[in-house]
């Protein structure tokens, strides 16, 4: 029996773990209470992580589709077949014939991200699609325009904050996740509340977070921009702004004044369906609070208005002097300066073939993928790789994407099990779970809310037939004779190190991501005057806090040409004026309900639902409906109902509750994904219904390409 310390890589809370192992099997996972930074969010998903490792339907060798079933193959067969078929397509149609989608777990493996990009650059395709377009791309677009880099994600200084304005976030469930790691962020927020801090939650639903709030504003969905614009107006009109920051830190405040001068408070209040007096009160309280922060999350982003809402949240922080001040939003440079490194490579530019949209954070929008597969012509996608993703469930209009995936000449899925999005795969490639792999995650060290480093230890050996993604991408590039990173000589170099490792019997000589990790640590920056060494890292199993949180890095980190925050990027101002000119959105005839969404403490987007013990009260999602709406439709608790939109319909049980406002129904996302059994051939398992089948793929935020997963309207009827 042995004990290993590592951290959970399911979500960005990155909880420190103590894992007990016997005979290469995990027998127990608990929180690593000696971890100085990050064990406080420890949850049942981390506690049961080994159940996915031992999943009865796990893919443990490459599997090739033969007719309607799968047969095991060797890695050589898999790599050679995929490489041959892709090369033929590229020779015939050019590199854009190859597409790739990567999902959320890619972000929890730095070697996966890096070598995936190396392979994409080798192939030369611009048909890259990413989960960001159903998640955080609004934030990237705002960070680029205001701070000069998509990577400038401010972190929250929770322990010093007196006034939390949480908009479209449910940290009581989601563990303060998004583009930051704030361990125990919600518990620490509640601790501040016990010392007098105020928590204001803006959410159309009465969530677990709203239950604890001092004030809950049940905003109309998709209208946060109107609420935030009204707040900016009150603050600027009443002279409550931070004069020095508005003058010395930011440009564009005059443009903001001009914008709010043309907006009417009563009209904005009507749009977001909140009393004007309440908005004025919150604006004044926020501006006058000694230390405060606005935090915006997916609830703001997953709408057609997402970028404008996200932008105005940042504006509130900037104009009230919350950037880089205690209790506000800080910039954490991290021990590896990813921002500086990213400045060394030219950001790619490309317009999508059909809709002409730009890349955001290096990828196109998932909403554009189905048409890019089905529309003939030069640049049509003929082969796809799905890397750690389940876009048929997590993205909009899953049925349309499913039909498109079925038309591909080649679909390759890299995953632990075969889920809904992999149902048409020609090849299933078995991945390695994070409990089975080492990782440093050095390139995201700036997302931790204090200077921190931990080496993520592997705990058990992977099944012999599983492979880490980076190795799959390297092998594919070599087999396709396309140089990794697009750098000539790279493949020969990698092959030479492999030969050397074999010849000498020293596996460490082979080029692996570990080389890069060592390089990153060797060239890392001093934090609090201290430089971390590889040896120290290896002998610190619980991780190292590299000193107190530092302020004063934000200004220097800005990547704008004038080193100022651009508070009013012209494209955002223009779009806001358009929104002001449009009438407030109304439900279309026949679809009177706004379709809301929730996460579940015991699921991770579309996965882990199936893991034993995680959903003891029943493995499914319901449609949650207000008692008065239910009564009007003759629906009782537990009735089976049909929920339908202009693009799809699902059936599920009704749950009558006052959590949603009237006129809204909630269907949790992430359910309704089948899990297939390519090895055993037994029928697929499935729990609940996929609410994203109801979402129109054409509804996107025009500035970020993000799907409006929370803007949809539906009808409800008893079956």
**Which segment (127-135, 397-405, 414-422, 625-633) binds Mo ion by CB under 5 A?**
127-135
Of positions 13, 151, 172, 459, contacts ligand SF4 by CB under 6 A: 13
Give the x-and-dash track for 151-190 against ligand SF4 (CB under 6 A). ------------------------x---------------
- Residue 135 makes contact with Mo ion by CB under 5 A: yes
Name the β-bridge partners of 216. 201
Reading the block at residue 639, the tokens are 């009735």
Residue 451 site contact among ligand MGD, ligand SF4, Mo ion, none (CB < 5 to 8 Å, cut-off depends on kind): none
Name which of 173 and 453 has its Cβ closer to ligand MGD: 173
**Which segment (5-13, 52-60, 115-123, 337-345) binds ligand SF4 by CB under 6 A?**
5-13
- What CA–CA distance (Å, rounded) separates 128 from 369? 9
- What CA–CA distance (Å, rounded) separates 306 from 137? 9
What phi-psi label fits residue 511: left (phi over 0), alpha (psi between -120 and 50 degrees) or beta? beta
Q: How many residues make up the chain in this entry? A: 719
What element of type H or E holds 404? helix 398-406
3-state secondary structure of 377: coil
Reading the block at residue 80, the tokens are 């050679």
Residue 42 site contact among ligand SF4, Mo ion, ligand MGD, none (CB < 5 to 8 Å, cut-off depends on kind): ligand SF4
Residue 386 site contact among ligand MGD, ligand SF4, Mo ion, none (CB < 5 to 8 Å, cut-off depends on kind): none
Distances (CA, A) of 441 to 14, 309, 338, 447, 590: 11, 30, 11, 11, 48
Q: How far is the CB of 377 from ligand MGD (least distance, A)?
A: 27
Of positions 8, 231, 367, 635, contacts ligand SF4 by CB under 6 A: 8
Q: How far is the CB of 394 from Mo ion (least distance, A)?
A: 9
Whether the Cβ atoms of residue 19 and residue 433 lie closer than 8 Å to each other = no
- Count other C-beta atoms under 10 Å from residue 267's C-beta: 13
Name which of 598 and 674 has its Cβ closer to ligand SF4: 598
**Which segment (129-137, 336-344, 347-355, 453-461) binds Mo ion by CB under 5 A?**
129-137
**Which segment (118-126, 153-161, 204-212, 355-363) binds ligand MGD by CB under 6 A?**
204-212
- Residue 299 makes contact with ligand MGD by CB under 6 A: yes
- Residue 295 makes contact with ligand MGD by CB under 6 A: no
SS3 content of the chain, % helix, strand, coil (to 5): 40, 20, 45
Of positions 19, 142, 440, 596, contacts ligand MGD by CB under 6 A: 596
Q: How many residues bind ligand SF4 (CB under 6 A)?
A: 12
3-state secondary structure of 570: helix
- What CA–CA distance (Å, rounded) separates 435 from 279? 47
| Helices 570-581 and 306-319, axial angle in degrees (round to 10) | 120
Residue 271 site contact among ligand MGD, ligand SF4, Mo ion, none (CB < 5 to 8 Å, cut-off depends on kind): none
- Residue 415 makes contact with ligand MGD by CB under 6 A: yes
Residue reference for tokens 């677990």: 208
Q: How far is the CB of 140 from Mo ion (least distance, A)?
A: 13
Of positions 45, 382, 422, 482, contacts ligand SF4 by CB under 6 A: 45
Of positions 185, 204, 313, 541, contacts ligand MGD by CB under 6 A: 204
- Residue 614 makes contact with ligand SF4 by CB under 6 A: no
Q: How far is the CB of 538 from Mo ion (least distance, A)?
A: 31
**Which segment (131-139, 278-286, 329-337, 634-642) binds Mo ion by CB under 5 A?**
131-139
- Residue 133 makes contact with ligand MGD by CB under 6 A: no
**Which segment (41-49, 156-164, 494-502, 513-521) binds ligand SF4 by CB under 6 A?**
41-49
- Residue 46 makes contact with ligand SF4 by CB under 6 A: yes
For the chain, what is the largest distance between any 2 Cα atoms, rounded to a whole number of angstroms? 77
Q: Could you tell me where the DSSP H helices lie in 100-205?
A: 110-123, 137-147, 171-174, 185-194
**Which segment (11-19, 104-112, 343-351, 674-682) binds ligand SF4 by CB under 6 A?**
11-19
Task: Name the residue with the smallest CB distance to Mo ion.
Answer: 135
Residue 416 site contact among Mo ion, ligand MGD, ligand SF4, none (CB < 5 to 8 Å, cut-off depends on kind): ligand MGD
What element of type H or E holds 402? helix 398-406
Residue 18 site contact among ligand MGD, Mo ion, ligand SF4, none (CB < 5 to 8 Å, cut-off depends on kind): none
**Which segment (478-486, 547-555, 593-601, 635-643) binds ligand MGD by CB under 6 A?**
593-601
- What CA–CA distance (Å, rounded) separates 338 from 442? 8
What phi-psi label fits residue 217: left (phi over 0), alpha (psi between -120 and 50 degrees) or beta? beta
Whether the Cβ atoms of residue 224 and residue 272 lie closer than 8 Å to each other = yes
- What CA–CA distance (Å, rounded) separates 500 from 520? 23
- What CA–CA distance (Å, rounded) separates 271 from 265? 10
| Sequence-ordered list of residues with C-beta below 8 angstroms from that of 468, at least 6 positions apart, any chain | 109, 111, 112, 431, 432, 437
What phi-psi label fits residue 125: left (phi over 0), alpha (psi between -120 and 50 degrees) or beta? beta
Q: How far is the CB of 95 from ligand MGD (least distance, A)?
A: 23
Residues from 253 through 282 that contact ligand MGD (CB under 6 A): none
- Residue 181 makes contact with ligand MGD by CB under 6 A: no
Of positions 49, 98, 131, 383, contacts ligand MGD by CB under 6 A: 131
Name which of 599 and 626 has its Cβ closer to ligand SF4: 599
- What CA–CA distance (Å, rounded) separates 223 from 561? 32
Q: How far is the CB of 509 from ligand SF4 (least distance, A)?
A: 34
- What CA–CA distance (Å, rounded) separates 460 from 676? 25
- Count other C-beta atoms under 10 Å from residue 339's C-beta: 21
Please list, residue by residue across 158-176, b when 16 or more beta carbons sit within 10 angstroms of its beta carbon and e when fewer do: bbbbbbbbbbbbbbbbbbb
Q: How far is the CB of 669 from Mo ion (least distance, A)?
A: 11
Residue 669 site contact among Mo ion, ligand SF4, ligand MGD, none (CB < 5 to 8 Å, cut-off depends on kind): ligand MGD
| Sequence-ordered list of residues with C-beta below 8 angstroms from that of 460, at least 6 positions apart, any chain | 21, 24, 25, 26, 50, 53, 435, 436
Residue 174 site contact among ligand MGD, Mo ion, ligand SF4, none (CB < 5 to 8 Å, cut-off depends on kind): ligand MGD
3-state secondary structure of 200: strand
Residue 394 site contact among ligand MGD, Mo ion, ligand SF4, none (CB < 5 to 8 Å, cut-off depends on kind): ligand MGD
Residue 455 site contact among Mo ion, ligand SF4, ligand MGD, none (CB < 5 to 8 Å, cut-off depends on kind): none
Name which of 334 and 391 has its Cβ closer to ligand MGD: 391
Whether the Cβ atoms of residue 694 and residue 650 lie closer than 8 Å to each other = yes
Task: State the residues that interact with Mo ion by CB under 5 A.
Answer: 135
Site for ligand MGD, rule CB under 6 A: 11, 103-105, 109, 131, 134-135, 167-171, 173-175, 177-178, 202-205, 207, 219, 221-222, 224, 297-300, 302-303, 387-391, 394, 414-417, 419, 431, 433-434, 469, 596-597, 599, 601, 603-607, 669-670, 691-692, 709-710
Positions that interact with ligand SF4 (CB under 6 A): 8, 10-11, 13-15, 41-43, 45-46, 175
């Amino acid at each position: 029996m042995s004990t290993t310390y590592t951290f959970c890589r399911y979500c960005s809370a990155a909880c420190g773990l103590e894992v007990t192992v016997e005979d290469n099997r995990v027998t127990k996972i608990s929180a690593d209470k000696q971890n100085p930074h990050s064990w406080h969010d420890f949850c049942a998903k981390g506690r049961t992580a080994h159940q996915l490792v031992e999943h009865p339907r796990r893919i443990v060798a490459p599997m090739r589709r033969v007719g309607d079933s799968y047969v095991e193959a060797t890695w050589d067969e898999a790599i050679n077949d995929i490489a041959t078929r892709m090369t033929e397509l590229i020779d015939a149609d050019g590199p854009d014939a190859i597409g790739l989608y990567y999902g959320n777990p890619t972000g929890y493996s730095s070697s996966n991200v890096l070598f995936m990009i190396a392979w994409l650059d080798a192939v030369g395709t611009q048909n890259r699609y990413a989960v960001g377009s159903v998640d955080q791309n609004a934030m990237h677009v705002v960070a680029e325009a205001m701070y000069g880099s998509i990577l400038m994600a401010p972190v929250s200084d929770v322990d010093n904050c007196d006034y939390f304005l949480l908009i479209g976030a449910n940290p009581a469930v989601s563990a303060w996740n998004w583009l930051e790691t704030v361990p125990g962020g919600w518990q620490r927020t509640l601790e501040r509340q016990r010392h007098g801090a105020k928590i204001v939650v803006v959410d159309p639903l009465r969530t677990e977070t709203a239950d604890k709030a001092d004030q809950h504003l049940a905003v109309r969905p998709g209208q946060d921009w109107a609420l935030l614009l009204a707040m900016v107006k009150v603050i600027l009109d009443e002279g409550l702004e931070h004069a020095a920051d508005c003058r010395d830190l930011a440009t564009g405040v005059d443009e903001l004044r001009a914008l709010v001068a043309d907006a009417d408070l009563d009209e904005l209040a009507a749009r977001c369906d909140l009393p004007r007096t309440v908005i004025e009160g919150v604006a004044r309280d926020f501006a006058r609070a000694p230390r405060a922060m606005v935090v915006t999350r997916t609830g703001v982003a997953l709408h057609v208005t997402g970028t404008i809402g996200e932008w105005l949240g940042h504006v509130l922080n900037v104009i009230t002097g919350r950037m880089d001040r205690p209790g506000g939003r800080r910039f954490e440079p991290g021990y590896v300066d990813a921002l500086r490194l990213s400045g060394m490579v030219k950001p790619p530019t490309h317009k999508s073939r059909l809709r002409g949209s730009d890349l955001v954070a290096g990828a196109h929008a998932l909403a554009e993928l189905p048409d890019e597969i089905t529309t003939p012509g030069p640049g049509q996608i003929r082969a796809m790789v799905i890397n750690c993703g389940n876009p048929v469930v997590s993205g909009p209009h899953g049925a349309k994407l499913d039909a498109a995936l079925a038309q591909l000449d080649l679909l390759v899925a890299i995953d632990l099990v075969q889920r809904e999005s992999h149902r048409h795969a020609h090849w299933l490639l078995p991945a390695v779970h994070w409990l089975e792999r080492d990782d440093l995650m050095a390139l995201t060290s700036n997302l931790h809310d204090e200077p921190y480093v931990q080496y993520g230890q592997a705990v058990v050996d992977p099944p012999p037939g599983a492979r880490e993604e980076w190795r799959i991408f390297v092998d594919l590039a070599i087999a396709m004779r396309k140089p990794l990173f697009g750098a000539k000589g790279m493949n020969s170099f990698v092959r030479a190190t492999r030969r050397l490792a074999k010849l000498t019997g020293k596996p460490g000589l082979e080029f692996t991501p570990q080389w890069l990790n060592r390089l990153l640590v060797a060239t890392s920056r001093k934090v609090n005057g201290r430089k971390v060494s590889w040896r120290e890292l290896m002998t610190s199993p619980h991780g190292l806090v590299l000193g107190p949180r530092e302020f004063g890095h934000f200004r220097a980190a800005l990547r704008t040409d004038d080193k100022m925050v651009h508070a009013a990027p012209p494209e955002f101002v223009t779009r806001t004026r358009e929104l002001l000119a449009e009438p407030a959105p109304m439900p279309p005839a026949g679809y009177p309900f706004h379709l809301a969404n929730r996460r579940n403490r015991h699921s991770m987007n579309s996965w882990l639902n199936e893991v034993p013990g995680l959903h003891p009260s029943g493995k499914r999602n319901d449609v949650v409906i207000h008692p008065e709406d239910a009564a009007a439709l003759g629906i009782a608790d537990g009735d089976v109902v049909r929920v339908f939109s202009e693009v799809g319909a699902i059936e599920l049980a009704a749950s009558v509750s006052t959590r949603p406002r009237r006129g809204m129904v909630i269907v949790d996302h992430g359910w309704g994904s089948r899990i297939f059994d390519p090895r055993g051939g037994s029928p697929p398992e499935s729990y609940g219904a996929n609410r994203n089948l109801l979402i129109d793929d054409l509804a996107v935020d025009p500035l970020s390409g993000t799907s409006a997963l929370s803007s949809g309207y539906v009808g409800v009827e008893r079956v």
